Amino acid sequence: MNTGQYISGIGHIGLIGWLLLGDVFAPAPEPFEVTEVAVVSPEEYERIVGMQQPPETESEAPQPPKPVDVTDPEPVQPVTEPEPQPVPRPEQPEPVQDTQPRDDSPDVAKVLPPEPTEVQDTPPEIAPPPQEDVVLAPKESVRPKPRPAPRVAPEPVAQPAPESKPDDVVREEVRKDDAGEVQKEEADATAPEEAAKEIVTEAEDEPARAPVSSLRPKTRPAAPAKRAEKPAEKDDLQSAIEKAVAEAAGGADKPAPADTPAAPAGPPLTAGEKDALRVSVQRCWNTGSLSSDALRTTVIVAVRLSEEGRPDAGSIRMVSSSGGTSDSARQAFEAARRAIIRCGASGFNLPKDKYAQWRDIEMTFNPEKMRIK
């Protein structure tokens, strides 16, 4: 309760003190500017204003412009056109009089009837129409026969031009041109060899069909002659024995016939010749269709080659296999067999003087490394 009284008393004392002492702290007033003014009477004011206005001057009124004399234009005289001159008429020639006498007789040829024609009783002979060759369509379509080719490839290749050289890459023939700006190196045209999807020996022959006409039955063979009597048989047997003994005795005196001349043996194949044969076979060896198990299988394949370097398809056999099952070995052997037949269709490039060395060869088909023995 005392606190409120103290606050109220302090407030009142402060208010009273501000009212009493508030002007002490007020700023000093600024000085006023005073201008002196003179008092003027109305008469003097009118006199001063009249002196400032300019005197009025009388202006002359503008005179109207003089009227302009307008004269009538002279009348236009009409232009006279010249009279047209008459056109002279062409002179008509006089009609020519016929000197020949006029024939007033009518034309009798149009009035006379035509002469009667002779009518024959026998009709004319009519030639028979020409016979047209009728070609009947076959009831069964002929099965297309694959063309035999010396080379086998996954995709058939058409027969190249005769002037093209065999190569795996197709190139156009380039000839030296003197007129050209850029000189290109001369090159012969190349094209891949003709190939088919199957081997020449495996090409399908045309299927045999039923004969158009049946053959005439053969006559019955004649009855065999009756055997001779037993004494005659004994004589023939004795003569045959004597003849054989004589030939044996005479053959002992004769020299033995010479054996068939052996093929040239020559030196063994060099490493370069073996490597060339391996590369040529490996070019046709397609391992993309083999299974993963067959790719881990190694097979040794034996083959016999002819003197022209062509493999004998019937002599290709599997010597041994390793690294897989029997199914994977068979699959790897079939891929190797196809590679040998395809690349050897045109003959391997081997020296003929060493035929005895490469007549029977063994190839090791290993997906990692291929070897030839």
Lowest-pLDDT choice from 106-120, 229-243, 244-258, 337-351: 244-258
pLDDT: which is higher, 328 or 245: 328
Total-model pTM: 0.32
> If pLDDT is split at 50, 70 and 90, which confidence band does 205 have?
very low
Domain carrying residue 278: 271-372
Do 346 and 157 contact (CB within 8 A), yes or no?
no
HSE (side-chain half, CA atoms, 13 Å) at 281: 30
Give the pLDDT confidence score for residue 357 in this predicted structure: 87
Counting residues of the chain whose pLDDT is more than 90, the rounded percentage is 9
From residue 101, give the alpha-carbon distance in Å to each of 96, 120, 140, 194.
Answer: 14, 48, 91, 98
Residue 227 within any structural domain of the chain: no
Give per-residue burial for 44-55: e unless 16+ CB within 10 Å, then b.
eeeeeeeeeeee
**Cβ proximity of 286 and 332 under 8 Å:** no
Q: Mean pLDDT, to the nearest integer, of 187-206? A: 55
Residue 6 in any domain: the answer is: no
15 burial via Cβ count (<10 Å: 0-12, 13-18, 19+): exposed
Helix (H, G, I), strand (E, B) or coil at 285: coil
pLDDT digits (tens, 9 = 90+) for 260-318: 445 456 688 888 888 888 888 888 888 888 888 888 899 999 999 998 889 998 899 99
CATH number for position 319? 3.30.1150.10
Q: Are 200 and 146 in contact (CB under 8 A)?
A: no
Whether residue 364 is contained in a domain is answered as yes
Q: Is there a domain that residue 128 lies in?
A: no
Structurally, the chain folds into a number of domains equal to: 1
Give domain status of residue 65, yes or no.
no
**Where does the chain have alpha helices with state H?**
2-21, 42-52, 230-253, 271-283, 292-295, 326-343, 355-358
C-alpha count within 13 angstroms, C-beta hemisphere, residue 15 = 6
| Beta-bridge mates of residue 322 | 298
pLDDT of 290 reads 84
**Tokens describing residue 357:** 């060395």
Would the pLDDT of 111 be above 60?
A: no
Which residues on neighbouring strands pair with residue 190, listed in sequence order? Answer: 165, 171
pLDDT value at position 256?
41
For the chain, give the mean pLDDT: 70
**Residue 22 within a domain:** no
Q: Is the pLDDT of residue 92 over 70?
A: no
Counting Cα atoms < 13 Å in the Cβ hemisphere of 352 gives 5
* Mean pLDDT of the 82-103 span: 60
**Within-domain flag for 343:** yes
What confidence tens digit (pLDDT) does each residue in 114-168 have?
666 666 666 666 766 666 665 566 555 556 565 655 565 656 666 766 666 666 6
Asked if residue 354 lies in contact with residue 267, where contact means CB atoms within 8 angstroms, the answer is yes
pLDDT tens-place string over residues 308-348: 889 998 899 999 998 888 899 999 999 999 999 998 888 88
Residue 95: inside a domain: no
> Is the pLDDT confidence value at 71 over 50?
yes
Give the Cα separation of 270 and 277 in Å (integer). 11
3-state secondary structure of 246: helix
Kindly calculate the radius of gyration of the chain based on its CA atoms and give it in whole angstroms.
70
Kindly report the length of the chain: 373
Provide the pLDDT confidence category of residue 79 given band limits of 50, 70 and 90: low
